[in-house]
Structure formats: structure tokens, C-alpha cells
Amino acid sequence: MTPHIEFRNLSVSYGGKRALGGISLTVPRNTILGIVGPANSGKTTLLKTINRTIEFISAAKVEGEVFVDGEEVRAVESVYALRRRIGMVFPLPVGLPMSVYDNVAYAPRRMGIHNKAELDVIVEQCLRDSVLWDEVKDRLDLLGTRLSGGQQQRLTLARALSLSPEILCLDEFSIAIDPVTTMKIEEVLSRLRERMTIVLVTNLTQQARRMADHVAFINASELVEWGETGQMFSAPVKAITGRYLNGEFG
Amino acid sequence: MSLPPAAAEPPKAAVPTGDGKDAGAKARAAERRGGRATFRGEMVIEFLIRLCGWSSIICVAAIFYFIFQEAAPVLPKMNWGEFFGSVTWRPTSAEPRYGALALIVGNFAVAIVAMAMAVPLGLGAAVYISEFAGPRVRETMKIAIEVLAAVPSIVWGFIGLTIISPLLIKYAGAELGSNLLNGSVILALMSVPLIVSISEDALRAVPDSYREAAMALGANKWEMVRRVLFPAARNGLLAACMLGVGRAVGETMAVLLATGNVVQIPHSFVDPIKTLTATIAAEMGEATPGQPHYQVLFLIGILLLVITCAINVIADFIIKGAKAKANA
């Protein structure tokens, strides 16, 4: 079976400075891949190559290949169509300058859903999945930018889910969210695995341990090793992996 | 240390503590003096800053006062119905008539037509420079726009007279090359650099994370501009347009040369017109100070001030309204 996502010898540099070197990694369908590693080691860069938002950084140079569903991402017919298949949640919350409702309904509307009842269902479901519904259900007309940081973060998640993506990329999604809500979202994500493949970049190794099927450890732009979560935590091949996962550095 | 025996060592004990107290007190006093000095310095600076702030209000008040003073003697004698309702402007005849309606209409007409051209052009250019152009093109264009903004208005007037005028006669079927459309084109060209540079700033001020978020949702660039950037930069864009309107209403030299200066209500785009501003500029030289004509020209000045103030207030309301809606 074709892996859902595959990186083949992927290298990225920013203006000659190497950000990622020779990454080869596969993500099977309907699994969660946890990407862990110290700050500035290239985790976010790796995510950005999947939906090609890396191209917004003009100095970035990408070598090697990234396949989604067996198709090289730079060979796709429409990058916009590619991005609609991939939900992306960035570490900084971004409420777009429209109402909470419109934030979530934006992508479905773009895909041609204009029936109000249908949109209502999608909006509610996405907001429930991102554990934001109870806090905003009475003020869906509020401007998205007026929510608190943690709420905006969950709004970003709801927006990403509104695409019904086949791949969901989460970059430090819990950075602005309290632990209780984080746990609730983690539960939802674990269930969402039935519908989509999830790539989870996180600084919290325990979060990766709780949620991920596979864990990849990236350090200083290199993929040190990757494997099944249990094995990575209990019997990593390299000593440095064990030290990082046990919180001895990073 | 234990207390010294009272008899043997009182001076020793007293001196150091006294010194200590003294030194402490001195230091505190010095601090207070220093504090007072800084305080005084702060007072001066605060006063100066306050003055800078209030000077704008003082200037506006002074301008109103002096213009009012010049216009005041004619105010009780004015036939207001005629001033606002008649198109007969004959200030130098034996029986002078001061009907400013055609001037007011001309002023607004030329400004509105100019904005109809300048706002789409300016916003489009700003979007292109901010979102679509590469860095090199962007820098070149910004320099070109700055140069455009620095062209003196009299030069624009020349361009209207010598370049646009023959074009309008040839292609638009105008009898006179200097007319409403000519003035509007010139005003549009003059306001565009202002609109572009301020809107471009407003668009650049929108955080990149907004663009990234919209693009990650699969929006293409135009959708991102329309649905995300325009709402996010709305206040800046409105301000840019209102400044453009302000410039178009107040501009004098270029419209004096380009509009033909015929006192009439225009019925087509190629009818010559005369504006309030051009009237003051053209007639002030021949009006005698203290005479009604002179005073009426100052009255027109007041009218212009009121119009520009009104535009600013309206712009303020629009922006506040947008904000209130955003906060609702």
C-alpha cells in the first residue's frame, strides 16, 4: 500500500543555510506521526514542505521529493487543490478578520457549499471537534480576531478541520491552550485518525507518546531515527534519542 | 555588637550612629533635590510636548479666526439663498452677484470623478506592489510613485493643458480641452501616489500569518486579498481614500489650469467648470481688500475649510463605525 505521505531524501536550505538534510520518512494512512526535537531543528520546515507553504519563504530551496498519495507535491496540477486536502495549524493562533462562523465556513463555501443548514452542521461539528463550541456557540458573529489566544488557536484547528482534510498537520497546537482543553483535543484527534492522517509536531514528548503511532526524532536538521512510538520510547537505537525523549536535554 | 557601656563610650557610639543618620539624611536630601531637578526637567518636557500637541488645535482655531475676520463684514449682508442657490457669479459687475452653486458643484464634480478613477487605480496598484510584485519590481515602483507624488501641482496643470487637452478634443469630442474630465484626470493622477503609498503601508502591516493561514486553506491570492487583507487593512485603506478625496477637493493650481474656468453646472464630462479653489486663486489678485468681493472670496475659503473638515469627520465616523462593528 502506498504510504500517505513520503519524504524521499528531502533537504531544505534557507539562503544557503541548511534547515533539513536528507530526510526519508513514510507515514502510513490513518496514523499519527509525532515529530519531536529541540527548537530550531527543522520540524516546522518539514511540515511546510507537505502543502508547499514553504514557497512563501523566498530564500527557501527544496531538494528531494515529497509525495502525497504517491504524487510528488511539486508536480500537482493545482497547488490550491493540494492545500485544500491538507489542514494546517500553525503555532501562532490566527483568527482571520471575519466572524467566528465565517472563519470556519470559509473553506467549505469555497468548495461550493452554500446551503445554510449544511454549513451550520459543518461549523458546529468542526467547533465541537476543536473543543471550542461551548465557548462560542452564543456568539458566532464575533470577529475571530476578538477571541482569546487559546480560543483563536482552537478556531485555527476548527478551520483546518473544515476542509475535511485527508492530512492534518499540527504545529505545536497546544502552545496557547490550557492542559485540560489540550487533553480534550488530544482525544478528538485520536478519534479523527479514523478519517485522516495526522502529522503532529510537538515539543512535548509525552504528547507524542500519548497520541502518536510513530515518532520521528529530528535533531540539528537531521532525522536521527524514527519508528513505532513504544519502541522509540522504550528501546531507541541511538543513545541521543533516549536522552531527548526522557527529557535529559532539549 | 552589644551595647557599649553608657559611661565609657557614649561619644563613640553616638558619633557613628549620628554620622550614619547624617549621611543617610544627606543622601535622602540629595535624592530629593535630584528628584526635584528631574521633576522640574520632566515638567518642562511635558509642557513642551503638551504644547506640540495643542499647537495643532491652536493653528486650526487661528486659521478659522483669521479667515472669519476677513470675511466677517460681508456676512450680515450676504444673500445666502443666492450664494448657495444661484449659479450667477458676477463679482466685478456694477451690480455684483455672488452665486456660488456652480463653483460648489464644479468642485465636487471634479473631485468625485477624480476619485472614481483614482481609488480603483490606487488600490489596485497598492495590492499589486504589496502582494504580487517581486522585491525588485516593488522597490522600483515605490520610487516611481514617490517621484510621482513629488511632481508640483503646476506641472500637472501644464500636463493637463498640453497633453490631455488635445487628446480630449481629438477623442472625447470636447469643444474645449480644459474641462471637467481633464481636471479629474489630473486630480486622479495627483491623488493616486498618495492613495498607493498609504494603502500599501496598510496592506504590508497585515501580519504574514494571515496570508499564510488563508493560503493554507487553499485560497488563491486574489481570494486572500479580498477576503482577508481588505478586511484586515480596512481602516488604513479608508484613510488612504479619504486623504485622496481631501487632496482632490483642496487642489488649486492644477484645476485652475485644467478645468477651463467657466462658471456653470456641468452637464457632461467634457463641459468646462470652475471650482471654489480656482476661483479664490484667480480672483484674489484683482479683489480689493476690504471690499465685498474680497470678503466673499474669504467666505469661500471658510466654505472649503468646512467641507474638508466635514470630509474628515465623515471619514472618522466611517472608521469608527467599522471598528464598532468589528467589536460588536
Query: How do residues B45-54 score in pLDDT, each as one tens digit?
Result: 999 999 999 9
Residue B8 has pLDDT above 60, yes or no: no
Q: How far is CA B247 from CA B110, B126, B191, B195, in A?
A: 12, 18, 7, 10
Per CB distance under 8 Å, which residues of B are interface residues toward A? 135, 207-220, 223, 227-228, 231-232, 326-328
Among the partner residues A58, A146, A159, nearest to B217 by beta-carbon distance: A159
Instruction: Give yes or no for residue B5 having a pLDDT over 60.
Output: no
List domains and CATH numbers for chain B: 82-200+237-327 (1.10.3720.10)
pLDDT at B34: 62
Residue owning grid cell 488530544: A186
CA distance A51 to chain B (A): 7
Give me the mean pLDDT over the A6-11 stretch. Answer: 95
Q: pLDDT at position B1, please?
A: 40
The answer to whether the CB atoms of A143 and B214 lie below 8 A apart is no
CB distance B223 to B257 below 8 Å: no
Bridge pairing between strands A214-219 and A32-36: parallel
Sign of the torsion formed by the C-alpha atoms of B15, B20, B23 and B26: negative
**pLDDT value at residue B312:** 85
Task: Supply the pLDDT for residue B4.
Answer: 44
Higher pLDDT, A146 or B33: A146
Residue B6, pLDDT score: 44
* B133 CB-near residues (< 8 Å, 6+ apart): B141
Residue A158 has pLDDT above 80, yes or no: yes
User: Do B218 and A81 make contact, defined as CB atoms within 8 angstroms?
Assistant: yes
Among the partner-chain residues A92, A97, A106, the one whose CB lies closest to the CB of B232 is: A97
Tally the C-alpha atoms within 13 A of residue B141's C-alpha that lie toward its C-beta: 20
The pLDDT score that the predictor gives to residue A90 is 84
CA-CA-CA-CA torsion sign (B165, B166, B172, B176): positive
pLDDT at A228: 94
Question: Of A7-21, A80-94, A115-129, B290-304, which range is least confident?
Answer: A80-94
B13 — pLDDT class (breaks 50, 70, 90): very low
Q: What is the mean pLDDT of residues B252-268?
A: 92
Collect all residues of chain A within an 8 Å Cβ-Cβ radius of residue B232.
96-97
Q: Cβ of A73: how many Cβ atoms within 10 Å?
A: 21
Instruction: Kindly list the residues from chain B whose CB atom is less than 8 angstroms away from the CB atom of residue A106.
Output: 217, 219, 227
Whether A209 contacts A233, CB under 8 Å? yes
Whether pLDDT at B272 is above 50: yes
CB A168 within 8 A of CB A87: yes
Q: Do B218 and A90 touch (CB under 8 A)?
A: no
Asked if residue A200 has pLDDT above 60, the reply is yes
CB contact under 8 A, A163 and B218: yes
Instruction: Tell me the backbone φ, ψ of residue A35, rounded to 5 degrees.
Output: -110, 120
Chain B residues whose CB is inside 8 A of the A84 CB are: 217-218
Count CA within 13 A, CB hemisphere, residue A99. 13
pLDDT over 70 at A103, yes or no: yes
Name the band, by pLDDT with cuts 50, 70 and 90, for residue B12: very low
Count residue pairs from A and B with Cβ separation < 8 A: 69
pLDDT in tens, B179-228: 999 999 999 999 999 999 999 999 999 998 899 888 888 888 898 999 89
Phi-psi region of B260 (alpha: psi -120 to 50; beta: other; left: phi over 0): left
pLDDT, chain B, mean: 87
Question: Is 50 exceeded by the pLDDT of residue A91?
Answer: yes
- Whole-complex ipTM: 0.80
**Euclidean distance between CA atoms A113 and A102, whole angstroms:** 13
Question: What per-residue confidence (pLDDT) applies to A39?
Answer: 87
First to last CA, chain A: 36
Per-residue pLDDT at B325: 61
Using a CB–CB cutoff of 8 Å, tell me whether A88 touches chain B: yes
Whether CATH 3.40.30.10 fits A5-245: no
**How far, in Å, CA of B215 to CA of B284, rounded?**
58
pLDDT at B326: 58
- Residue B22 above 70 pLDDT? no
Residue of A80, A84, A100, A166 to mutate, interface with B, max B Cβ within 10 Å: A80
Q: Report, as an integer, the average pLDDT of A182-188.
A: 89
The one-letter code for the residue type at B28 is R
Instruction: With H, G, I as helix, E, B as strand and everything else as coil, classify residue B94.
Output: coil
A166 φ/ψ angles, rounded to the nearest 5 degrees:
-85, -20
Average pLDDT of B258-278?
93
Domain residues of chain A, as ranges? 5-245
**β-pair type (A222-228, A71-72):** unpaired
Name every chain B residue with its beta carbon within 8 A of the beta carbon of A51: 216
Please say if the pLDDT value at position B32 is more than 70. Answer: no
- What pLDDT sits at residue B9? 44
Cβ atoms of B265 and B105 within 8 Å: the answer is: yes
A210-231: b or e for each residue (b if 16 or more CB lie within 10 Å)?
ebbbbbbbbbebbbbbbbebee
Chain A residues in contact with B327 by the CB 8 A cut-off are 143, 146
Cell numbers at B65, concatenated = 479666526
Test A81 with B135 for CB contact under 8 angstroms. no
Question: Residues A211, A50: contact at Cβ < 8 Å?
Answer: no
Asked whether the beta carbons of A248 and A219 are under 8 A apart, the reply is no
pLDDT at B18: 45
The tens digit of pLDDT for each residue in A214-233 reads 999 999 999 999 999 999 99
For residue B281, count other CB atoms closer than 10 A to its CB: 15
Show the 3-state SS of chain A. Answer: CCCCEEEEEEEEEECCEEEEEEEEEEECCCCEEEEECCCCCCHHHHHHHHCCHHHHCCCEEEEEEEEECCEEHHHCCCHHHHHHHEEEECCCCCCCCCEHHHHHHHHHHHCCCCCHHHHHHHHHHHHHHCCCHHHHCCCCCCEHHHCCHHHHHHHHHHHHHCCCCCEEEEECCCCCCCHHHHHHHHHHHHHHCCCCEEEEECCCHHHHHHHCCEEEEEECCEEEEEEEHHHHHHCCCCHHHHHHHCCCCC
Asked whether the beta carbons of B178 and B158 are under 8 A apart, the reply is no
- Give contacts of A107 with chain B, Cβ < 8 Å: 217-218
In the stretch 127-146 of chain A, residues with CB closer than 8 A to chain B read 141, 143, 145-146
